[in-house]
């Protein structure tokens, strides 16, 4: 089973909207793997293998993909969706791109925390003056947009920590959601990412307070703490997370 970050990019939008969610979610069990999530992981695995080997997705048709107790056979439809993603990534790599597949990036230094603040970007492409961060979403239920997306911004911050900033002026963050025929891109100057990093650091400091406030809203939809959250389950719609957490802040 893959290692989980205490501070993860995928839930960071919630931390920014509800500081108390960080502490509250730490003490509830993680949701297990579902058929949908396992199917998405198998598509990611095929896409990563194809990018690393240079093969097209059709070469994986009829192969069995096993993910945490689930098993899928790649069919033509799945391969066609994955190929859309491969074509986009290969086009972005072009002649001068340096491709890193399933690339783990750590953004703990920028956020001022000591450990376990990382994520895995599906693809990172480094060019002389541009960094491209790509995220494959294989679900089709919720349309995901790149603009102002904290998950992508954290991957970008981690990529800068990993590969350095020399020459980089522009960061392109892209979500590929082939089953919705959807590509969404957010391009920023590196200074805009630096501004986001400051905002993110402040949000983490607030989340680490012993009485971080709970704020309910649309971001509650996929919160693991929702069933027991006092803000959601009370009339007032607010509250405090009075739990301590294992995360130490670097002062
Ligand atoms: S359910 Fe909503 S208010 Fe409660 S912790 Fe989660 S995000 Fe915050």
Q: Is the CB of 232 under 6 A from ligand 1?
A: yes
Query: Which residue in this structure is represented by tokens 């995901």?
Result: 144
Q: Are 188 and 170 in contact (CB under 8 A)?
A: yes
In a domain, 67, yes or no: yes
Residue 23 C-alpha to ligand 1 middle, in angstroms? 10
Nearest to 17 by CA among 212, 184, 147: 212
Which pLDDT belongs to residue 241?
Answer: 54
Residue 122 C-alpha to ligand 1 middle, in angstroms? 28
Q: Is the CB of 224 under 6 A from ligand 1?
A: no
In a domain, 186, yes or no: no
Which pLDDT belongs to residue 248?
Answer: 44
In a domain, 108, yes or no: no
In a domain, 149, yes or no: no
Query: In this structure, how many other beta carbons lie within 10 angstroms of the beta carbon of residue 45?
Result: 17
Instruction: Tell me which residue has its CA closest to atom 5 in ligand 1.
Output: 21
Residue 28 C-alpha to ligand 1 middle, in angstroms? 12
In a domain, 82, yes or no: yes
In a domain, 178, yes or no: no
Split into its structural domains, the chain has a count of: 1
Q: Are 111 and 150 in contact (CB under 8 A)?
A: no
Q: Is the CB of 219 under 6 A from ligand 1?
A: yes
Residue 145 C-alpha to ligand 1 middle, in angstroms? 22
Pocket-testing residue among 22, 212, 219, ligand 1, by greatest number of atoms within 8 A of Cβ: 219
Which pLDDT belongs to residue 250?
Answer: 40
Q: Are 48 and 122 in contact (CB under 8 A)?
A: yes
The closest-lying atom of ligand 1 relative to the alpha carbon of residue 226 is: 1
Instruction: Tell me which residue has its CA closest to atom 7 in ligand 1.
Output: 220
In a domain, 246, yes or no: no
Which pLDDT belongs to residue 119?
Answer: 95
Low-confidence spans in the chain with pLDDT less than 70: 1-3, 115, 235-251
In a domain, 192, yes or no: no
Q: Which residues pair with 153 in a beta bridge?
A: none
**Containing structural domain, residue 67:** 33-93
Nearest to 57 by CA among 88, 30, 25: 88
Q: How far is CA 129 from the centre of its chain?
A: 23
Q: Is the CB of 223 under 6 A from ligand 1?
A: yes
């Amino acid at each position: 089973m893959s290692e989980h970050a205490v501070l993860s990019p995928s839930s960071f939008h919630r931390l920014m909207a509800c500081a108390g969610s960080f502490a509250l979610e730490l003490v509830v069990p993680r949701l297990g793997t579902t058929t949908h999530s396992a199917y998405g992981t198998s598509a990611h695995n095929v896409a990563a293998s194809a990018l690393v080997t240079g093969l097209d997705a059709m070469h994986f048709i009829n192969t069995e993909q096993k993910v945490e107790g689930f098993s899928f056979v790649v069919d033509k439809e799945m391969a066609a969706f994955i190929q859309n993603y491969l074509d986009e990534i290969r086009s972005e790599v072009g002649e001068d791109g340096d491709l890193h597949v399933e690339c783990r990036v750590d953004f703990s230094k920028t956020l001022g925390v000591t450990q376990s603040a990382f994520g895995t970007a599906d693809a990172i492409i480094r060019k002389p003056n541009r960094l491209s961060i790509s995220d494959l979403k294989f679900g089709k239920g919720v349309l995901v947009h790149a603009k102002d997306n904290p998950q992508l911004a954290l991957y970008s911050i981690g990529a800068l920590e990993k590969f350095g900033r020399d020459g980089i002026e522009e960061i392109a963050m892209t979500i590929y959601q082939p089953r919705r025929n959807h590509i969404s891109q957010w391009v920023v100057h590196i200074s805009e990412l630096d501004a986001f990093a400051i905002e993110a650091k402040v949000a983490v400091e607030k989340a680490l307070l012993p009485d971080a406030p709970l704020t309910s809203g649309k971001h509650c939809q996929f919160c693991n703490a929702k069933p027991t959250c006092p803000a959601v389950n009370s009339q007032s719609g607010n509250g405090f997370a009075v739990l301590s957490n294992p995360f130490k802040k670097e002062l």
